[in-house]
A and B are shown apart, each in its own frame.
Chain A
Amino acid sequence: EAGVAQSPRYKIIEKRQSVAFWCNPISGHATLYWYQQILGQGPKLLIQFQNNGVVDDSQLPKDRFSAERLKGVDSTLKIQPAKLEDSAVYLCASSLAGGQGANEQYFGPGTRLTVT
């Protein structure tokens, strides 16, 4: 089966510009996660969707970050305006909705963002 797809793989922007990342989860996976991984650290959850509803966005900087998951499939994460500290790898992951299947999250290859 196809894995989690993300694009672009790399993005370089100047501070105060905007940027958008796209994620296509594994078919049938109702739960989708966006993580931010700053260099030298482990990934940190930004937002979690269950179908097209937000389950947890407590760590999302809502003054500049936004995310949506229309129709409960693809998702887009946007940053506007970007700051230097947003330089990181943005990982998308998906899992089945519940039961034992929810225990395994499948990750995409990530998008490396550099803000100059």
Chain B
Amino acid sequence: AQTVTQSQPEMSVQEAETVTLSCTYDTSESDYYLFWYKQPPSRQMILVIRQEAYKQQNATENRFSVNFQKAAKSFSLKISDSQLGDAAMYFCAYRSAVGLLWGYALNFGKGTSLLVTP
């Protein structure tokens, strides 16, 4: 079974600064997807960014970017120019891409709580 580890239970960043959230995973598969989800207090899970394992180029979405190190099985999220609205729980998730035509469920880490201070 694949495991996802987020070693930072809490992180803090000042507004306009940059913060990096860490994620490592364990898998024997070669084909998979990695995700970062944001969960604000409203509990609605929102997809932040997605990375396909077969792509060497790191994904970027506006102020959010990832550092994907496949050999090291590391997938960190960098948030630039942090805003107060970025405060939330951030979950790293793994999804297999092998086998089922319709895809597998997500395997989540325990999350990192991000606090943004003015």
Chain A interface (Cβ < 8 Å from any Cβ of B): 30-31, 33, 35, 40-45, 48, 50, 55-56, 89, 91, 93, 95, 97-98, 102-105, 107-110, 112
Contact = CB atoms under 8 A, between A and B. Distances in A.
B42 interface: yes
Interface of B: 4, 33, 42-47, 50, 91, 93, 95, 100-111
B111 A42 contact: yes
Nearest to A96: B102
Nearest to B33: A103
B103 A98 contact: yes
A55 B111 contact: no
Contacts of B47: 104-105
Given A42-B91, A42-B110, A95 B103 contact: yes
Contact of B106 (A43, A55, A97): A43
B45 to A, nearest CB: 4
A107 B103 CA distance: 16
A45 B43 contact: no
B45 A107 contact: yes
B6 to A, nearest CB: 8
A103 B45 contact: no
B105 A89 contact: no
Top 7 A-B pairs ranked by shortest CB distance?
A: A42-B108, A102-B103, A107-B45, A45-B105, A110-B43, A98-B102, A98-B101
Contacts of A107: 44-46
Contacts of B106: 35, 43, 45, 105
A103 to B, nearest CB: 6
A108 to B, nearest CB: 8
A56 B106 CA distance: 12
Given A42-B91, A50-B102, A55-B102, A89 B109 contact: no
Contacts of A42: 4, 91, 93, 108-111
9 contacts: A42-B4, A43-B106, A43-B108, A45-B107, A97-B102, A98-B101, A103-B103, A107-B46, A112-B43
